[in-house]
Structures are given as structure tokens and as C-alpha cells.
A and B are shown apart, each in its own frame.
Chain A
Amino acid sequence: MFAMNRNLLRRAPSSTTVAVALGVAATVLAPCLAAPPKAAKKAQSQQQRQRAGLPAAVTADPPSTIMEVAAVDRSGRSAVHQAAAKIDSLLASSWKEHGVEASVPLKDEQFLRRIYLDLGGRIPTYEEATRFLASKAETKRADLIDNLLESPDYVSHFYNYWADILRLLERPQKTLFFEPYLWYVKDSIRTNKPFDGWAHEMLTADGRVWDNPAVGFQLRDAGMPLPYVDNTVRVLLGTQIGCAQCHDHPFDDWTQHQFYELAAFTSGTQMRGRGKNKNMMSRQMGQAGARELIQEAKQKLDRPTAFVQFVAANTTAVSFAEAPLKLPHDYQYEDAEPLAVVSPKVLWGEIPSGARDADGREQFASWVISRDNRQFARTIANRMWKKVMGVGLVEPVDDFQPGNPPSNPELLEHLTDEMLRLDFDLREFVRILVSTGTYQRRAVVYDPASGTPFRFTGPALRRMTAEQIWDSILTLVAHNAWAVQRPTAAEVAAAVNLDLANPSFDAAYGMFERFAKEYTPPRRMRELQQTVGYRGQLLVRASEMPAPLPLGHFLRQFGQSDRETIEGARTVATVPQILTMFNGQITHSMLEKGSVIYDTVVAHTPQEAIDVIFLSVLSHKPSGEDRKLARDEIMTADTPAAGYGNLIWALLNTREFIFIQ
């Protein structure tokens, strides 16, 4: 303990304020000496990390440009407000019809916190909060909305949103290296790619994942062509036809025959140089070169598996050549014979005229995203509505069916029209929704188990997502939360792309070793510890973290998806979450010297400190009573510094912190 204090003192600047506040550090940061036995082996290396405190990359100033985000058109503001007013008027008549009262309008500090969380995925910093609250500008809410929509925070937050829907993993299968696809999703949000075009790109992409990262969508279900169709229809058309894969849907209209008719469009999607176009593909993909390398590896290496997978990843590519789809051999219905070839047919509507001569996969994609296929626009409009308001007009968002009607059909059709009018500009759509008077009302407590539909008299009260909690805590800790970003497709390509036309085992093996060091998930995790590690935690934005994270990670504890099921994230309360909030490393990171909140408190007078802490953690000043409670705590604690620590800890452990009001 003594050595620890000396060490901290040596690192500290010598101003009086800091020396006093360092008392905080010495008291608050004393390491837990009673390390559990299982940690004993690792104690030494852990000690070294602990002594180092917050990593330099995290305490440094953030880079001036984190990423270039597509600009929001400020001139479009009056159109946004008109569109928002239309939505408000539709809701107002629904409230009247159902005899419910609108929730009260939000105060500035409540709006501030919610808009940061809903658009940026994190709470505002002390500085951001005071700046907004002090502003007298009439347009300050609209200004903040627009600023947030073109910030890296927006990209990060919406990446997390899509990662849950698209089941984004770095290694969904051993030969699928998905970093380029994950980057592509993030980049599509950064450039605000229109959603219809984005979907079309993913449904029809060809090639290897680092050459054309959009192929990741089709590769996610590689080797499972029928589940691929099920998942695609669920995600993009909000319809569950999965049951019909094995038998006629028990209560919907979908028959097994219809499922196969739809699947017939994409039958013929190849993931390797297999199938009809094998010879052409095989040449293109350098199958011969790959075979040579693999043979040599099996002779030269004791454990060739990882290397073989590395080579196989180089020959994994999506291509399409139509192939007939047959009914299963145990097909049990009378409308067709088992093993009969099925001709492709869409579930509703028709193939757009422009695509009728195209191949099956293109026909399917064109049908899905067609403006005439309102279900596509309706599904994404309902998803975005839920993203902003907390509850969908149809719930769950991927189960549109006659037995599950929307709670406000008129509003849903209006939002569908809006989505079409905006040409699938999702960000503009969200901009309108958060500009509504309804969004800017106090949150309403809603229990879906009550059996009554939600009337949207304000957004629903929600617990923060796991990523919002993580990124909010990070906001209190890291001056630079962007010290690491996920690798780009080009970076991965440079590290993985083998020259299979001129195969050389030594060159390939060298590349494999470098790639394994930098990109194999556990090794990458270890590598990242060097730059942004703090007591085993990586202090970077949730969006830039490896995926999936281990089950015990903070984000998984708070319900981040394992990315195996579509929208697998949960917000259920559990005991280990609370234990982590009490004693976890991440709670302690913010009490370290050099953390944002530490530095902010230290930069203010003791009289200001209580307000600073409240504004930093809860985004508002304390009430008179709370200020008195806080002052009493600081006066009676062993040192004022320990009192600050107790106050920060207490605010972090309120329901107000993790729920979005």
C-alpha cells in the first residue's frame, strides 16, 4: 500500500488542488489486497496494470477527427418540424379517442440526457451538459439533435443497434473472417446510406468479404440456405415464416410450399467454389493454389488447422448461379409431391418489372426493397419508431400478421409514407421522430404484460441498453473513448489476402502468423489490453469491442446479445449486474486520477464539486435537499475526497442512472 501511494505521488503534478484531490486517489483507489485465490497466479501482472492506472491512450485528448460523418442538412429544418407536427396531430387524436392524457413536456435537463442517450448512446459530459443548459438559443434542442446526428457517437450507437439485429460476430464460422463486414455496417451508418440501397447491396453482393464486405449478410447463414431466407424475411419484412420451413404455419397463412417457393429465388447462392459454376469459380478463387498450401501445411505443421482455415478463408466467396430447389423428401401435403422442384414465387405482390429478366437472387432483392412492397418500408418505419419511442406500433417488430394488428394503424401507414417520401433516409426519419412534441414528453411506465396497448402519450420508460450503460460510464472515465476503432476492410484485406496464383508456403505462413497475432479474437483482446486495458477491461466504445464478448463481460452481464439470435439483447435485472456496479473494475476506473470526472471535480472549487458531480453523472443539478444530503456525506466522510467518491458511487447506483426518463 505504501509503495502504491508513493508511486501515485511521484506521478502527480504538484499543484495544491491536485495534491488534496490525490487524497481521493490514495483513499479511494487503494487496491483490494484480499485478491481471491483464483487470481493469485495472475496477481503480478494485474498489479502492474493496476499501478499503471488509466492507460495513457485513454487519458489523452481525443483526436481532432474521429471519423467523417455525413452532414445533416440544416436547411431542411422547417420540413422536419412540419413532419413532426403531423405525427403529433395523429397522436393527439388517438389520445382523444382513447381518453388518455399526454405526458408532461420534458425539462431541458431531461431532454438533454435522453437525446444524448437515444442518438449518441451515452450521457452528456459535464461540459456538454452545462453548455446546453446555459444556452438561451431558441433553437437549442434542434441544434443539439442535428449535431448529435452527425457525430461519431451516432454512428457508434446505431452500429450497436444493427449489430444486435444482424448478429454481428467476428468469427461466425471458422473460415469466415467478418471484421470487414462489421466495418461495412458501421461505415454504411457513417455515410447514411439509404436503407433500400443498403439492403439491396447486402442481398446481392458477390465476392470475398474483404473485397466486398456486403457479402457478410448472406454469409452469416452460410451453409443454411433455408434459415437464411427465414432470417432475411424476419429482419427486412418483419414477418415470421420460419415455422413453414418444416410444416404449414399453425396459425398464419404461410404454407411449407410457399416457404420453398420463396427460398427458390436464392437457391444457387454459393459460398465456395462448389456447385454448378465450380470450374470457373475454382480458377478465380485460386483453389489450386490453396490446395497446394494446405497440402504443404499438413506435411510441415504439427497443428495445421488454424493455418488451413486461414487459407480456406481466402477461397470463401459468395457467387450465384441458379440451381433448382426441391421439396423435402418427407413433404406431407397434397399440393405437391416430395422432392418436386419448386418454381420461385414471392409471398405477396410481384417482382418489379425492371428485374423480371434478372437472376433469382436479384429478383428476390428487387422485390424485397421495392417501393411497391410497402411491407419493407413499414417494417423499417416501425423499427425506427420503436428505437425512438421504446415500443413498436407492432410488437414484436418482426411479427406482422393479421392476428397481431398495429396499435395505431393510421399512424403506422403515415410513417410508412414518410419512409417512402424520405427515400429510406433513416437518419432523417429519426430526426423527425425526435423532433416531435410527443418524443419530448416525460417517459411513461408501460408493462407489456398488462395486455393493454401502449398509447404513446410519451416515450416508454426504458432501461439503458448494455452498450448505453458502458458508454455512459466511459464518458465519466475516458477523455478519449476512441483510442481504438474496428479495423477497416482495407486493413483486413492487407493482412489476409494471399497470392494464390503464386502460392508460397513461407510467405503465406508469415502472413498467417501476423494475422493471428493481430486479429484472432482472444489475441486481439490481449493486444488491445496494451493500449486501452485497465484491470482487464478495454476502455473503448462498445461498438469497437471484439464480438462476441465473453459471457462474464460487463456488456454481456447487462444483456448484450451473444449475436446468435436476432435481437438477442435484454434489459432484465440480475444480481451480478448489481455486484458489478458495487465492486466492478469499471466502477473504480472513474475514481482514478486522470478520469474525466476526477479531472473535472479537481478543476473546480469544493463549493462547486457537488453540482459538478450531479451534472456529470445525472445531467442535472441537485435539488436543495439532495445538495444538503451530499454536503452532509462529504462533511462526515473520513476525507472530503472519500466523500466525493461515495457520492459518485451513490449516483451511479441509482435507478435514475440506468433508466432513461
Chain B
Amino acid sequence: MIGTMGISSVDRLLSRRALCGHLARTALGVTVLDTLVGSAVGRAAPAVPVGDVSVIFLMMRGAMSHLDTFDPKPGREEQGETKAIQTKTPGVLFGEHVPKLAGMSDRLAVIRAMTTETGAHEQGTYLMRTSYSQLNSIVHPSMGSWTLHVQGKRSRDLPGYVLVGNGNEHPGAGFLDASLTPVPVADPKLGLENTTHPAYLSEKQFRRRLVLADRIDRDFKQLYGGPHIAAYDQMYKDATRLLGSVDLESFDISKEPEAIRSRYGDTTFGQGCLLARRLVEAGVRCVEVELGKWDMHQDIFEALPDNVGTLDTGMAALLDDLAERGLLKNTLVVLATEFGRTPEINKNAGRDHHPAVFSCVLAGAGIKGGVVHGASDERGFHPDRDGVTVADFNTTIAVAAGLPHQKEFSAPNGRPFKIGGGGSPIANVLA
């Protein structure tokens, strides 16, 4: 028992970070030290040149109901239990569960006439992320990998593209080089795990192990060299480089002052938005944060307040925080989902899949705020005017992010592709 006590207290004392935290609370005062830590990290980060845009993509997986968020139809039977509230923009109403975003609608471009053909989640999210329909033979790259392909990484050690809280279905780098593969972070609160070697393992010993593995592996690689093996070789390289990097700190949101952390909400998504801001600040080019649980086929009005509230708090804090740090003019924030939900409420008090019309939101770099583009009909069923396809939407993102949306690229099988899918940018929302 004495042993246990001894170890755990030694352990706690020896942990440098814990020690800092301890001192901060007792001696220096949380705010002071945390601010110091925060700004130190800020300084260490590579300067992002003006006009070099970062993208934070908030993906509402499972299909977010447009009627209950950004396109309410007050007075209609279809509206169900969600009330409409006034936004900062005269005449524009949002659903009652996004009060914070409603309060900053002057920053947002809301697209209310998004329209697509596919009502299946897998195909819908794939289309939204890649701008192309799923094919049998080839995986298309997601927007973030295209961005890296064209613009390169900003930092040698830090990844250029990070996914927060995403599942397997993300297309990642698709047919592009494995080095453009996003780095997934499962839980923003834990950051990137397993980045510390055990205490007994010196850096020298670790390198020796790697060399040994590499030499023993030579025959196998010679026989089976190809894209699968090459992708793993690349990941071993990236992981090794990252391990020695000071940039690892940008994955650690515990470095943020408590006041900032709580602003984003104590949810995985909210903390994911905070991680996204931290990463972008440190020089990561693209971050996608996923929020699930939108597939509300049953009892939707019970499920909405929580999930929409999570979105509202996280996204509003992100926009405020970016703006306060002067990062919003360089950061494009996208709120997207694969399709909408039926205006008609089903017999299980839920809403089903509805690709015909839905809403997405843009803010930040290159975007005009306080705009509502397009409209759905009076029931929220079809686009009424200015329908926007996924390709139009993604081409708009490409323009705002400074990507060559008209340039033709070739896949390995010779097919031509365009970033954004060859749509027409929405001039109305571009600044």
C-alpha cells in the first residue's frame, strides 16, 4: 500500500505538465499562467500568410433537419414543436435551438436551397465530402486532401489535414498520394494518443528499433511493393516525424484556459471545434469536425434540443474565438450535412430523409455575412428559387479557399476531375 501511494505521488510530481498545472493553481493563478502558455504556443506556430485560407468543415452526419435549424416555417403544420426565433438579420428567422448563431447571423451566409438526388447517408456524405458520386472502382479525394495537393502543408512536422471524431467512411485522400491522408483524432479531449514513449525507451533505442524493423522487412517489401505497403511506409514516416515535434502541443486542448474550454461546451463536438481552432492557429490547413446523431427518424423533438444546442454552442464559440484572434478573415468555416429531413412528421414522431432541399452555412474567409441565399418552398419541401447543388456549394468553398476550381485533374485511371466537382460558385455569398 505504501508502494502504491509512493508511486502515484511520485508519478504525479514527475509529470511536468501536472506540475505546471499545480503551480498555476496555487502560486501563479490560473489565468496568468494559462494565458502565458496560450500565447507561447501562438508564437511558436508558423505565421499564416494573409490570404492563405484555412478551412474548418463542420459535418452534421446523419442529415440535419433544415426546418428545425436554419429554415423554419412558422405557422405551418410541418414545423412541429420547434419555434422560430428572430436573428440579427432583419426578417431572417432560425429555429429556437440556435440562439447563439442567430445572434451572429451577420457573420453567416445561409444557403437554404441546397438540393441533391441521394437520400442514403453513405452516398450523401461521400458526395458532400468529395463533390462526386460514389463509384465502384475509385475513391475520390475529400476537399481537404485536394487542398493539400494543391497548396501543400504549412509545416514540416504537423499534419496538414485533421479529422476530429470521424468514423471510417471518410474518403480521406482517395486516389491522391497517401501523404495527403488526414490524421484522425477520435476524441478531442484526449488529443493524439500514444505520443509518449515509455520512460525506459530512449530516443536512440527507438530509432534502433525502427531501423531493425525496416531491415527485417526488406524482403517482404520487395515482393509485395505497391500502393498498400507504400501507404503504410508513409504513415510510419509521418508518425515518426510527428513524435519528435514540438507541434504536438497543438493537439492538446488541456493547454487552453478553462474559460475558453467551457465556452465551446462540454461536448465532444464543442471541444472538437476548440481543437480545430488550436490546430488552425498552429498551421494546420484543414480540419473537419463531425457531429453525429442527426438521423432522427423517431421522437425528433425530444432529440433536437441537445444536438442542435451542441452545434449552436460549439460553432458560435468557434466563430467568436476565431474573430477575436483575428483568424476568421483567414479561416473559412463550413457547416454541411448530407441532406435534409422531411417536412412531414412520420408516425414515430420523427422526420425521414429528404434530399430535395436542405440548408448549409458558410462563414469567415471570403464569405459575405448576413446573407440568405436561395429559398425552399412554403413547406420546406422543394427549392423555390436559386437551387444549389453540392458541386455548386463545394465550388464556392474552393473559390473562398483560393483553390483552382476550373483546373482539370486526372485520376490514375485517366478520368478528369475538378476541385468542387465543376459547379458554379455562388457569387451572392462570396465577399
A residues contacting B by CB (< 8 A) are 3-4, 6-7, 27-38, 40, 43-44, 47-48, 51, 173, 223-224, 230, 242-243, 245-247, 250, 329-330, 395-396, 399, 404, 442-443, 445, 447-451, 461, 463, 550-552, 556-557, 559-562, 564-565, 568-580, 582-584, 588, 622-623, 626, 629-630, 633, 637, 642, 646-647, 649-651, 653-656, 658-659, 661
> How many Å lie between the Cα of A565 and that of B169 in the bound state?
9
Please tell me if B228 contacts chain A, counting CB pairs below 8 Å. Answer: yes
Partner of B200, one of A7, A27, A445, A656: A27
Contact yes or no, A647 B212, CB < 8 A = yes
Contact yes or no, A551 B117, CB < 8 A = no
Residues from chain B with a CB closer than 8 A to the CB of A556 are 168, 186
Tell me the residues in window 294-324 of chain B with beta carbons closer than 8 Å to chain A beta carbons.
Answer: 297-298
* Leading 4 A-B pairs by shortest Cβ distance: A552-B186, A3-B3, A578-B239, A445-B226
Please tell me if B30 contacts chain A, counting CB pairs below 8 Å. Answer: no
Contact yes or no, B220 A449, CB < 8 A = no
Please tell me if B47 contacts chain A, counting CB pairs below 8 Å. Answer: no
Contact yes or no, B15 A399, CB < 8 A = no
> How many Å lie between the Cα of A433 and that of B145 in the bound state?
39
Contact yes or no, A659 B229, CB < 8 A = yes
Tell me the residues in window 93-137 of chain B with beta carbons closer than 8 Å to chain A beta carbons.
Answer: 117-122, 136-137
Residues from chain B with a CB closer than 8 A to the CB of A243 are 117-120
Residue of A whose beta carbon sits closest to that of B174: A449
> How many Å lie between the Cα of A40 and that of B411 in the bound state?
48
Give the residue among A330, A552, A655 with the most B Cβ atoms within 10 A: A655
Please tell me if B203 contacts chain A, counting CB pairs below 8 Å. Answer: no
Residues from chain B with a CB closer than 8 A to the CB of A637 are 205
Residues from chain A with a CB closer than 8 A to the CB of B159 are 575
Contact yes or no, A583 B213, CB < 8 A = no
Residues from chain A with a CB closer than 8 A to the CB of B425 are none
Shortest beta-carbon distance, A459 to chain B, in Å? 12
Please tell me if B12 contacts chain A, counting CB pairs below 8 Å. Answer: yes
Please tell me if B183 contacts chain A, counting CB pairs below 8 Å. Answer: yes
> How many Å lie between the Cα of A565 and that of B414 in the bound state?
30
**Known A-B contacts A30-B199, A34-B14; A576 and B183 likewise in contact (beta carbons under 8 Å):** yes
Identify 6 new A-B residue pairs, CB closer than 8 A, beyond the known A577-B235, A583-B197. Answer: A395-B136, A572-B231, A573-B228, A578-B240, A626-B215, A661-B220
Residues from chain A with a CB closer than 8 A to the CB of B344 are 329
Contact yes or no, A576 B412, CB < 8 A = no
Contact yes or no, B233 A33, CB < 8 A = no
Contact yes or no, A576 B192, CB < 8 A = yes
Contact yes or no, A572 B172, CB < 8 A = yes
Residue of A whose beta carbon sits closest to that of B3: A3
B residues contacting A by CB (< 8 A) are 2-4, 6-8, 10-12, 14-18, 21, 117-122, 136-139, 159, 165, 167-169, 172, 175, 178, 181-187, 189-190, 192-200, 205-206, 208-210, 212-213, 215-217, 219-221, 223-229, 231-236, 238-240, 242-243, 252, 254, 297-298, 344, 348, 350, 352-353, 355, 381, 411-414
Contact yes or no, B168 A653, CB < 8 A = no
Residues from chain A with a CB closer than 8 A to the CB of B17 are 36-37
Contact yes or no, B199 A31, CB < 8 A = yes
Contact yes or no, B224 A658, CB < 8 A = no
Residue of B whose beta carbon sits closest to that of A221: B297
Contact yes or no, B192 A552, CB < 8 A = no
**Known A-B contacts A449-B138, A551-B187, A576-B186; A582 and B194 likewise in contact (beta carbons under 8 Å):** yes
Contact yes or no, A646 B209, CB < 8 A = yes
Shortest beta-carbon distance, B293 to chain A, in Å? 11
**Known A-B contacts A224-B297, A579-B193, A661-B224; A654 and B242 likewise in contact (beta carbons under 8 Å):** no
> How many Å lie between the Cα of A573 and that of B119 in the bound state?
29
A-B contact pairs, 19 of them (CB 8 A): A30-B200, A32-B198, A33-B11, A34-B16, A34-B199, A36-B17, A47-B4, A173-B298, A223-B298, A224-B352, A560-B168, A565-B121, A571-B228, A572-B181, A576-B185, A584-B193, A653-B210, A655-B217, A655-B233
Shortest beta-carbon distance, B258 to chain A, in Å? 13
Contact yes or no, A655 B220, CB < 8 A = yes
Residues from chain B with a CB closer than 8 A to the CB of A451 are 137-138, 412-414
Residues from chain B with a CB closer than 8 A to the CB of A43 are 8, 11-12
Contact yes or no, B3 A448, CB < 8 A = no
Residue of B whose beta carbon sits closest to that of A551: B186
Partner of A646, one of B10, B212, B254: B212
Give the residue among B187, B198, B353 with the most A Cβ atoms within 10 A: B198
> How many Å lie between the Cα of A33 and that of B195 in the bound state?
14
Contact yes or no, B167 A579, CB < 8 A = no
> How many Å lie between the Cα of A649 and that of B200 in the bound state?
14
Contact yes or no, B3 A40, CB < 8 A = no
Residue of A whose beta carbon sits closest to that of B344: A329
Contact yes or no, B169 A575, CB < 8 A = no
Contact yes or no, B195 A583, CB < 8 A = yes
Shortest beta-carbon distance, B193 to chain A, in Å? 7
> How many Å lie between the Cα of A576 and that of B194 in the bound state?
8
Contact yes or no, B200 A461, CB < 8 A = no
Residues from chain A with a CB closer than 8 A to the CB of B197 are 32, 582-583
Contact yes or no, A568 B168, CB < 8 A = yes
Contact yes or no, B231 A633, CB < 8 A = no
Residues from chain B with a CB closer than 8 A to the CB of A6 are 3
Partner of A3, one of B7, B137, B221: B7
Contact yes or no, B228 A659, CB < 8 A = yes
Contact yes or no, A35 B11, CB < 8 A = yes
Residues from chain B with a CB closer than 8 A to the CB of A450 are 412-413
Residues from chain A with a CB closer than 8 A to the CB of B219 are 623
Contact yes or no, B213 A654, CB < 8 A = yes
**Known A-B contacts A43-B11, A395-B136; A445 and B199 likewise in contact (beta carbons under 8 Å):** no
Residues from chain A with a CB closer than 8 A to the CB of B138 are 448-449, 451
> How many Å lie between the Cα of A4 and that of B227 in the bound state?
45
> How many Å lie between the Cα of A231 and that of B239 in the bound state?
38
Partner of B221, one of A250, A552, A655: A655
Residues from chain B with a CB closer than 8 A to the CB of A399 are 136
Shortest beta-carbon distance, B14 to chain A, in Å? 5
Contact yes or no, B213 A568, CB < 8 A = no
Contact yes or no, B233 A37, CB < 8 A = no
Residues from chain B with a CB closer than 8 A to the CB of A584 are 193-194
Contact yes or no, A575 B3, CB < 8 A = no
Residue of A whose beta carbon sits closest to that of B216: A626
Shortest beta-carbon distance, B246 to chain A, in Å? 16
**Known A-B contacts A3-B3, A399-B136; A245 and B119 likewise in contact (beta carbons under 8 Å):** yes
Contact yes or no, A38 B3, CB < 8 A = no
Contact yes or no, B231 A573, CB < 8 A = yes
Contact yes or no, B209 A30, CB < 8 A = no
